[in-house]
Amino acid sequence: MLRPIDSFFLNLEEPIKSTMLFLRTHIPSLSKDITEEWKYKLPFYYYKGKMFCYLWIHKKYKQPYIGIVASDKMDYPELLLEKRAKMKILLINPDEDIDVRTINKILKEAMQYY
């Protein structure tokens, strides 16, 4: 029997599935203090036991994104606030090469707020 978080990833359609599976392994690789949990019916990542970021698919753009908890303190043109009060998102285009350097730079800065 698969865990809900595993089912979530395996039931995605390509190319979103490959992008999300990459992010699933990449985000925890940034620090031994990042853990994956199934919270609010979505994949959530905790840093040192506190909510750090999550993965989801944007309804309008149909693209995966990383929602970053501490991003209200950050100023990157790639981060979108939209109608959220604090969290910003980083859209990931599944039809292009993933910009790992930008992801790393943003997430490593976010870690500094913990």
For 15, residues 6+ apart whose C-beta sits below 8 A from its C-beta are: 94, 95
- Give the mean pLDDT of the chain: 96
Alpha-carbon distance values, 54 to 1, 60, 68 (Å)? 24, 18, 7
State pLDDT tens for residues 17-63: 999 999 999 999 999 999 999 999 999 999 999 999 999 999 999 99
Q: In this predicted structure, what is the pLDDT of residue 72? A: 87
Query: Which contiguous run of DSSP H or E holds residue 13?
Result: none
Q: Which domain range does residue 93 map to?
A: 4-111
State pLDDT tens for residues 57-102: 999 999 999 999 989 889 999 999 988 778 999 999 999 999 999 9
Alpha-carbon distance values, 45 to 21, 61, 80 (Å)? 14, 23, 19
Q: How many domains does the chain have?
A: 1
CATH number assigned to the domain comprising residue 107: 3.90.1150.200
The position carrying tokens 């109608």 is: 83
Q: In this predicted structure, what is the pLDDT of residue 44? A: 98
Q: In this predicted structure, what is the pLDDT of residue 22? A: 98
**What DSSP character marks residue 12?**
P
- The answer to whether the predicted template modeling score (pTM) of the entire model surpasses 0.85 is yes
